[in-house]
Structure 1
């Protein structure tokens, strides 16, 4: 094998290596922002909220319809967009906590509920409950096998002025004959919300 042939083989190998590196880099980066949106939407199924604004990386609720808007004594709005029943026997409530005021709002400890085992998993919305007044039942936020509540958790300790914290909470679904439930959450008035799905 002569020297020129060896150089050609080395050059071809270097070009192939460079091309495969570029392909790998593009695949690893996702190629565009749309791919990263899909990844962040998929990762939101873990049930943890990452921050106190709309760009926290969570799957945002469908805001095309509002079921209820509640206001606490400190001027924070709790906007409920959906209460959706799924085929797995769950009911997921989603919405936003909005801070329209001019001061930072510290998220209260009571939002996590009073259960010691759940409180040990960090900030959550485990204190949220649903009441089926017709069926005379109260539904609590579901827990996973590690006793973590299936709701927005580990969120920031405050909601800054003009910002919002999107949320979800998953409950056992009431019977199909139940079309409305009362939402109860510490610091906010009760609200009757309609179930879809």
Structure 2
């Protein structure tokens, strides 16, 4: 078995694991708090309106804890709710982009990254990276067998005033000895987030 075949098998396995994780997350999400039902419903309809595909549009981040809130020059907030390590060797970041301003925000092309290989996948968050300063490594968003990034993709070209775009991005997990990583995303300041 050559290395290329092994990589392809691993990518297929990663995509299958992601799909099952997302399905489990959707099944596990239940509203038991007051006002909680309104927020996910709004985000879910926003995601569908923005053209995300079904698994990504239906998966909402757990908003019970905030790891970081970042703001770009246009006032858009990037709120990171979780950085979850799973037993399969993956790390999934989830959160929201919120537009609290009075005008529509056009999502920049630079969010998709500079790799020509993922350009055909449409808008994505492939430019997001994680830096493990303890292990001295940089991690990039994983790709599936068709070179599509395992992250929120095909979202609308703008986030309207008062609306939000929920997101996820999946990375190879750093070693267990690394409990924090630095999140880097174009247009936003770097943030150190804790891995759970």
Larger radius of gyration: 1
Partner of 1:87: 87
Structure 1 residues 137 and 76: alpha-carbon distance in aligned structure 2, compared to 1, 3 A threshold: same
- How far apart are residue 41 of structure 1 and its match? 3.3
- How far apart are residue 143 of structure 1 and its match? 0.2
Partner of 1:33: none
- Give the distance between the partners of 2:109 and 2:26, measured in 1 at CA: 27
- Give the distance between the partners of 1:120 and 1:150, measured in 2 at CA: 14
Partner of 1:161: 161
Partner of 2:113: 113
Runs of 4+ off more than 6 Å: none
Partner of 1:140: 140
| Contiguous gaps of at least 5 residues in structure 1 | 1-37, 43-51
The 5 A counterparts of 1:1-197 are 41=26, 53-55=43-45, 56=47, 57-196=57-196
Secondary structure of residue in 1 paired with 2:152? coil
Secondary structure of residue in 1 paired with 2:147? coil
The TM-score normalised by the length of structure 2 is: 0.73
Secondary structure of residue in 2 paired with 1:120? helix
Q: Between Structure 1 and Structure 2, how many residues are aligned?
A: 150
- Give the distance between the partners of 1:58 and 1:106, measured in 2 at CA: 23
